């Protein structure tokens, strides 16, 4: 075959050939090579695409186009038997090292010699290349028809691919397969080896291939490093609001997260999702995935805290561990959810197997009420709501300087003797979206970060407000954290301490995942505001383990850099104004000279016109002609008298 798939080349092949997959440390690898390719082929976050999927344990699975086996190892843990189809021997060798339990067949993708039918057929970043390996007028329809020969009666085909009309392409991300801007949007002009599709186009291909039962999933931010798996039920109800972290080369035309929220309000988010994961079913039977409406994957945390949150069609939320290591975290959530924090109680939950289970609430959240007050520009109502929340949070608390014990320092590290309000148990994540108002009582739905030790309530309150300042422009433009703290007579001089605690908490929860190298052409670079600066700093603090001095130095350097940019722009504008003023003065002087010359010309023209008129009158006068001889005689007589 004469095509290369995403990020495949000899460099990454040589790197992968030399890795001992039984012992390799991803973090050590990124220290040596922090390229996007390294992340794409080696990061465990790639598994998020299928980690949540309800595979049948006793199933067999056919993976077509396994590339270098970045998903294969996961499949061997999910099902009974995995068969991989690859077209190059070197890829087969790498897959066998990564997933020794998988069977590898080296074969052309359109000439698979296997006498077996499968429960699952996986095509991740390969279906879009069908026109390169299938000689047909309708290669995509015909390839699905071909694959049906290897599908059990109740089997499914799972296709993961980019959306031709993905929002990221409009925002300036190069089309990955062609490395061109707007290639898919423009219909792949002059690109003849690959093609992705819009949602409607992909549906038409599926139906034309003889399948009439299918379900769309929408991995956000994309299918390569998904954090959320949406379905049609919630894609517009719970729009993805985070920025995209994992990008290669791109421009930055606009904020995808902001526009995505706008599209969701119009009911159009699914059509502009960056990626699709489509489940094509071979029959009309019920499938386990029918029950899944929404999935959130917290795989970027340390293993002890990794969870999968699923909203199912039975009206319940299920929070399950990624592995046995995070099961203790689930049990802790369940046991700690039985108490009250101030006047805030927790929604009842139960253990369901290895997951906690609680009911989906239809009531409005405190966030809904707060945003409504902001949109109405009603500060009185806004502060009334905050007072209710503040009073519920601080109810029955006590002042303490002894909160920084061993348990506290294990999480937050920084010691302090500042007097703060505390409870003996604490919940660090009481943001407004996690609080519901039921029968005039605050009910919390999040149990993840409940601790059985004192945490200052002023910090918890600050952390809640910081969340909205950094993630919601409407909130930020409406009011500042300082103004809110002043309203409640709280000391804002503790903000630096709170930020340090928050940074240390992030280190406690999240694994150190340095971002891959990337190049960003920011079209609006000169218009970056404080929010973007805060976002960058917070991302750095979240994923990097640096000391306090380095953190402050980074912040100071960034602020100074922003100031330098602004001052340079001001100087440039001032210079332009001076140049424009000088040019205007020169133009005015020239205009004055031109006016003077025009006036002089007009005077001369008028004099010339008068003389010409007089001459014409004399020349045309009869008296001039009659008296001419007399004038000659008089002239002669006068001359003689003079003599």
Which domain CATH number covers 121? Answer: 3.40.50.150
Residue position matching structure tokens 């029918």: 290
Q: Final residue of a domain: which of 500, 529, 559?
A: 559
CB 461 within 8 A of CB 487: no
Domain that holds residue 446: 366-559
Same domain, 247 and 394: no
Same domain, 384 and 251: no
Q: Which long-range contacts (CB under 8 A, 24 or more apart) does 393-399 make?
A: 393/341, 393/342, 393/343, 393/344, 393/430, 393/457, 393/460, 393/461, 394/342, 394/421, 394/457, 395/342, 395/343, 396/342, 396/343, 396/423, 397/342, 397/421, 397/422, 397/423, 397/457, 398/422, 398/423
CB 419 within 8 A of CB 400: yes
DSSP characters for 246-290?
--SSEE--S-HHHHHHHHHHTT-GGGG-SEEEEEEESSSS--GGG
CB 169 within 8 A of CB 135: no
Query: Which of helix, strand or coil describes residue 360?
Result: coil
C-alpha 45/C-alpha 70 separation (Å) is 10
Region of 64 on the Ramachandran plot (φ > 0 left; ψ -120 to 50 alpha; else beta) = beta
End-to-end CA distance of the chain: 124
pLDDT digits (tens, 9 = 90+) for 234-289: 898 878 776 655 555 566 677 777 788 788 888 999 999 999 999 999 999 889 99
Same domain, 228 and 124: yes
Same domain, 412 and 277: no
**Nearest of 210, 176, 237 to residue 7 by alpha carbon:** 176
Residue 533: its pLDDT value, please? 41
What values do phi and psi take at 200, rounded to 5? -65, -40
Q: How many CA atoms lie within 13 A of 108 on its CB side?
A: 10
Per-residue buried b or exposed e for 387-414, using 16+ beta carbons within 10 Å of the residue's own CB: ebbbebbbeebeeeeebbeeebeebbbe
Q: How many domains does the chain have?
A: 2
Q: Which long-range contacts (CB under 8 A, 24 or more apart) does 519-524 make?
A: 519/248, 519/249, 519/250, 520/247, 520/249, 520/250, 520/251, 520/252, 521/172, 521/250, 521/251, 521/252, 522/251, 522/252, 523/172, 523/251, 523/252, 523/253, 524/252, 524/253
Same domain, 93 and 237: yes
Same domain, 273 and 381: no
Contact residues for 102 (Cβ-Cβ < 8 A; gap 6+): 63, 69, 72, 73, 75, 76, 82, 83, 84, 95, 96
C-alpha 175/C-alpha 383 separation (Å) is 47
Residue 359 is assigned to a structural domain of this protein: no
Same domain, 261 and 400: no
Residue 513 is assigned to a structural domain of this protein: yes
Q: Which long-range contacts (CB under 8 A, 24 or more apart) does 285-293 make?
A: 285/154, 287/156, 287/215, 288/54, 288/56, 289/53, 289/54, 289/215, 290/215, 292/52, 292/54, 292/229, 292/231, 293/231, 293/233, 293/234
* Rounded (5°) CA angle 528-532-537: 130
Residue 128 is assigned to a structural domain of this protein: yes
Supply the Cα-derived Rg of the chain in whole angstroms: 37
CB 389 within 8 A of CB 366: yes
C-beta neighbour count of 523 within 10 angstroms: 13
C-beta neighbour count of 586 within 10 angstroms: 10
CB 309 within 8 A of CB 426: no
**Nearest of 279, 293, 281 to residue 230 by alpha carbon:** 293
C-alpha 401/C-alpha 420 separation (Å) is 7
Same domain, 516 and 429: yes
CB 250 within 8 A of CB 521: yes
Q: Final residue of a domain: which of 491, 524, 559?
A: 559
Residue 84 is assigned to a structural domain of this protein: yes
C-beta neighbour count of 359 within 10 angstroms: 14
Token pair in block for residue 331: 């049990």
Which uninterrupted H or E stretch holds 161?
strand 151-162
Same domain, 232 and 146: yes
CB 342 within 8 A of CB 319: no
What values do phi and psi take at 223, rounded to 5? -85, -5
Same domain, 292 and 380: no
Query: Which of helix, strand or coil describes residue 385?
Result: helix
C-alpha 513/C-alpha 34 separation (Å) is 10
Q: Which long-range contacts (CB under 8 A, 24 or more apart) does 77-81 make?
A: 78/50, 78/53, 79/55, 79/119, 79/120
Same domain, 370 and 296: no
Same domain, 165 and 259: yes
Q: Final residue of a domain: which of 300, 325, 343?
A: 300
C-alpha 587/C-alpha 176 separation (Å) is 53
Residue 325 is assigned to a structural domain of this protein: no
Residue 261: its pLDDT value, please? 78
Query: Which of helix, strand or coil describes residue 175?
Result: strand
Give every residue of the chain whose pLDDT is below 70, as ranges: 1-3, 242-252, 511-579, 581-582, 584, 617-643
C-alpha 432/C-alpha 443 separation (Å) is 11
């Amino acid at each position: 075959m004469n095509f290369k798939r995403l990020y495949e080349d000899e460099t990454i092949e040589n790197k992968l050939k030399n890795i001992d997959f039984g012992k390799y440390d991803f973090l050590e690898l990124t220290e040596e090579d922090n390229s996007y390719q390294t992340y794409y082929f080696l990061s465990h976050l790639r598994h998020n695409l299928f980690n949540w999927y309800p595979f049948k344990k006793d199933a067999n699975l056919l993976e077509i186009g396994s590339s270098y086996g970045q998903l294969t190892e996961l499949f061997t843990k999910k099902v009974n038997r995995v068969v991989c189809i690859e077209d190059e021997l070197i890829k087969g060798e790498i897959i066998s090292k990564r997933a020794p339990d998988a069977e590898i067949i080296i074969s052309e993708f359109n000439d698979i010699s296997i006498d077996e039918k499968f429960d699952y057929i996986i095509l991740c970043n390969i279906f879009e290349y069908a026109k390169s390996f299938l000689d047909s007028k309708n290669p995509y329809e015909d390839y699905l028809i071909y694959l049906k020969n290897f599908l059990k009666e109740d089997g499914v085909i799972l296709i993961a691919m980019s959306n031709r009309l993905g929002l990221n392409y409009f925002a300036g991300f190069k089309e990955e397969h062609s490395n061109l801007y707007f290639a898919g949007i423009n219909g792949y002009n002059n690109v003849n080896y690959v093609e992705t599709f819009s949602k409607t186009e992909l549906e038409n291909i599926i139906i034309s291939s003889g399948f009439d039962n299918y379900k769309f999933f929408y991995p956000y931010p994309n299918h390569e490093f998904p954090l959320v798996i949406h379905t049609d039920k919630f894609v517009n109800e719970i729009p993805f609001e985070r920025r995209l972290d994992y990008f290669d080369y791109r421009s930055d035309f606009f904020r995808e997260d902001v526009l995505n929220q706008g599209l969701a309000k119009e009911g159009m988010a699914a059509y502009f999702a960056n990626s699709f994961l489509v489940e094509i079913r071979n029959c009309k039977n019920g499938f386990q995935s029918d029950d899944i409406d929404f999935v959130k994957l917290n795989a970027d945390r340390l293993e002890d805290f990794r969870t999968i949150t699923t909203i199912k069609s039975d009206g319940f939320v299920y929070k399950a561990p990624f592995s046995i290591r995070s099961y203790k975290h689930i049990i802790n959530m369940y046991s700690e959810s039985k108490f009250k924090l101030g006047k805030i109680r927790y929604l009842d939950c139960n253990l369901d197997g290895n997951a906690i289970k609680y009911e989906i609430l239809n009531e409005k959240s405190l966030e809904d009420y707060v945003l409504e007050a902001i949109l109405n520009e009603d500060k009185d109502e806004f502060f009334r709501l905050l007072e209710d929340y503040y009073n519920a949070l601080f109810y029955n608390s006590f002042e303490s300087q002894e909160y920084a014990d061993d348990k506290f320092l294990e999480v937050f590290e920084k010691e302090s003797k500042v007097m703060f309000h505390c409870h003996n148990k604490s919940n660090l994540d009481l943001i407004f979206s996690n609080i519901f108002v039921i029968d005039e009582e605050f009910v919390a739905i999040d149990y993840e970060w409940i601790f059985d030790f004192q945490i200052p309530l002023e910090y918890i309150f600050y952390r809640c407000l910081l969340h909205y300042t950094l993630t919601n422009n409407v909130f930020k433009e409406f009011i500042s954290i300082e103004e809110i703290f002043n309203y409640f007579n709280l000391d804002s001089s503790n903000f630096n301490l709170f930020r340090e605690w928050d940074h240390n908490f992030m280190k406690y929860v999240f694994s150190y995942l340095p971002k891959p190298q990337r190049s960003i052409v920011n079209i609006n670079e000169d218009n970056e505001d404080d929010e973007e600066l805060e976002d960058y700093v917070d991302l750095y603090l979240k994923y990097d383990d640096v000391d306090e001095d380095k953190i402050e130095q980074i912040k100071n350097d960034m602020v100074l850099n922003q100031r330098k940019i602004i001052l340079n722009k001001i100087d440039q504008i001032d210079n332009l104004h001076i140049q424009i003023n000088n040019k205007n003065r020169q133009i005015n002087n020239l205009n004055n000279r031109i006016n003077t010359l025009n006036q002089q010309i007009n005077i001369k023209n008028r004099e010339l016109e008068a003389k010409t008129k007089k001459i014409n009158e004399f020349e045309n006068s009869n008296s001039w002609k009659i008296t001419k001889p007399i004038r000659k005689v008089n002239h002669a007589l006068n001359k003689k008298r003079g003599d």
